[in-house]
Chains A and B, each alone.
Chain A
Amino acid sequence: MVTPFRYTLRRMRGQIIGWGLGIALLGAVIIPFYSVFAESQAQFLAMLENYPPEFLAFFGDASDASAITTPRGFLQYYFFSMLPVLAGIFALSAGSRLLAQDEERGRMDLILAHPLSRTTLFFGRVLALVAASVAIVFIGWLGCAILLATSSMDVGVGELALAFLPVLAQILIYAALALLLSLLLPAYRYASMITGMLLAASYILSSLGKLHPSLNAIGDLMPYAYYQGAAAMSGLDWGSFLGLVGISAVFVVLAWWRFERRDIRVVGEGSWNLPLRLRKRAA
């Protein structure tokens, strides 16, 4: 399992550095902005009060715009509220490509002709994906923690770490779903597409669900409804965190079950041929 793990992690190093530094860079833009914001809180609050609640719902608690004046509220509105969507793009891309890309490019055939079981390959790669996700979240946290030390925000690095844990859970669930779909659907791009649609729907429906009870029932089915964000700084909701990790594990087990039993495709195989062409009538 070591070789597939090490090889996959090495292949993902560009994504780890890129996404990790990208999150840290986002923090670098947002965190110093807090001191400017603190000096003109009254103006910002007046501006926010003029925004429709549907808009504010996408950034946190729409019923209480004044929460933004606290460091945690500020980080939630400007940083953590969007982070699952941004990191989710990495998750769906990495999850859907983890095995299916090598299959579609014709490389899996030769890899599996080596003396390693499908289970070993599968879990070696899944562990590498988990490690890459942890590394991205860690780099993002580290960058933000360094910046926090130079800012006027009264937020500890430990509290900040707690707020990053729900982001990790969101990454894991979308990556696991994309992985499962990539082994069920004929091409990994379909898995990316469907997971991406779910990612967007989850964010929109869960956010609007706070305002419209009719959307709550659907919103509560979405992963984003169980995302704490900066609220985790006051205490991590272990139920939501472990629930999301547990569902991710179920998706992974289902994906493994499927990978164990299916024929390995070679390049060019497995595309869907949609019956869009009308049949010619006999003359």
Chain B
Amino acid sequence: MAEQLALTMRGLTKSYGKVRALQGLDLDVQRGEIFGFLGPNGAGKTTTIRCLLDTIRPDGGTARVLGLDPQRDPVAVHARTGYLPGELHLDDNMTGEGQLRYFNALRGGLASWAYVQALAEQLDLDLNRPIKNLSRGNKQKVGVIQAVMHRPELLILDEPTSGLDPLMQHVVLQLIRDAQAGGTTTFFSSHIMSEVEAVADRVGIIRDGRLVEVAAPQALAARALHRATVRFTEPVSLDALVSVEGVRVVSQDEETRVTLEIQGEMAPFIRALAPYPVRDLETARPSLEDVFLAYYGHTQG
């Protein structure tokens, strides 16, 4: 079973002074899957990633990366991992090529330079330009290339599409899918719901340093709030509708038009709606963003 897991975390804790960044994080990521790690700023996403890479040491709990303990065997973990930090800072005095050659040298020259050039072409990046003259998006492309150029078994990406235009976001997401086709596991953090929904096999939501939910994006969305807008032929009392468990009125624009939120199954709501003089009914499938906001809305709203 353990061999099937690319990442394992059990009771991971980490504090920065009085701030408890991780409060007993438990999480498994299967080999070969794309796992999206969702959470707002300060939820503990980057702290988790930095514990996995041994750039910071957890106060308690255990972590295993590809079956290895990152604190005991960080070099072996790093050799099999590609990492893109959330805030990428490169050496401004180098060119893109110089920076990538340096990173490749740190990896013992494992990457094929032809592959690096192919990636640069795919991402429309000029490697001869000095880093200091590159835009944020182009620097991010250098970061993406260095993470994937040695074809690692595991990709750990902290907000990989940050600073990229929509076209390049699409290219990077395709790189993640291509890597998966080659057997690579991807663990990536994001707060862009659409990209997580587009590529992730499973999603984990972290809140205040604890994992609050893990599921496939579609399953999460199905479990979450639905939204329905109903137009009636005449003014009605909504008492019967709002008495259904999980139903609440979001807005009532006119006497005959109301928008409701339904938590969980739709069936009881539809049954309660049947006796009403309904002219029109629109329901919206909740996006992952709605799910995410629902999780945070409960504590922050």
A residues apposed to B, CB below 8 Å? 3-4, 7, 11, 105-118, 263-264, 266-267
Chain B interface residues toward A at CB < 8 A: 46, 50, 53-57, 74-76, 78-79, 81, 83, 85, 87-91, 93, 102-103, 105-108, 143, 146
B56 and A115 contact, CB distance less than 8 A? no
Decide: B78 and A110 in contact? CB cutoff 8 A: no
Residues of B within 8 A of A264 (CB): 50, 55-56
Whether B83 lies near A106 (C-beta < 8 A) is no
CB pair A107–B55 under 8 Å, yes or no, is no
Query: Most chain-A Cβ atoms within 10 A of its Cβ — which of B74, B102, B106?
Result: B106
Kindly list chain A residues whose C-beta atoms are within 8 Å of the C-beta of B105: 3, 7
A107 touching B91 by the CB < 8 A rule?
Answer: yes
Q: How far is B88's CA from A117's CA once the two chains are assembled, in angstroms?
A: 21
> How far does the Cβ of A118 sit from chain B's closest Cβ, in whole Å?
8
* Known A107-B90, A109-B50; contact A115-B83, beta-carbon cutoff 8 A: no
CB pair B90 A113 closer than 8 Å: no
Set B87, B90, B107: member contacting A115, Cβ < 8 A? B107
Q: B88 near A110 (CB under 8 angstroms)? A: yes
Could you say which residues of chain B place their CB within 8 Å of the CB of A105?
Answer: 89
Q: Tell me which residues across on chain A come within 8 A of B102, comparing CB atoms.
A: 3, 7
The listed residue (B89, B90, B107) touching A114 by CB distance below 8 A is B107
- Inter-chain contact A109/B78, CB cutoff 8 Å: no
A121 to chain B: closest residue by CB: B106
Are A114 and B78 in touch, CB under 8 angstroms?
Answer: yes
Among residues of A, the one whose C-beta sits closest to the C-beta of B88 is: A110
Residue contact A263 to B106, C-beta cutoff 8 Å: no
Q: Are A115 and B106 in contact (CB under 8 A)?
A: yes
C-alpha gap A112/B74 in the complex (Å): 9
Residues of A within 8 Å of B106, CB to CB, are 3-4, 111, 114-116
Q: CB-CB < 8 A to A116: which residues of B?
A: 75, 78, 106
When distances are taken between beta carbons in the complex, the residues of chain B under 8 Å from A109 are 50, 55, 85
Q: Complex Cα distance A111/B106, Å?
A: 8
Identify which of B57, B76, B81, B91 contacts A113 (C-beta below 8 A). B81
Contact A263:B108 (CB < 8 A) given known A107-B90, A115-B75, A115-B78: no
B56 touching A263, Cβ below 8 Å: yes
Given the interface pairs A3-B105, A109-B55, the reply to whether A115 lies near B89 with Cβ below 8 Å is no
Closest to A269 in B: B16
Q: Within the complex, which residue of A4, A7, A106, A112 is in contact with B89, where a contact is CB–CB below 8 Å?
A: A106
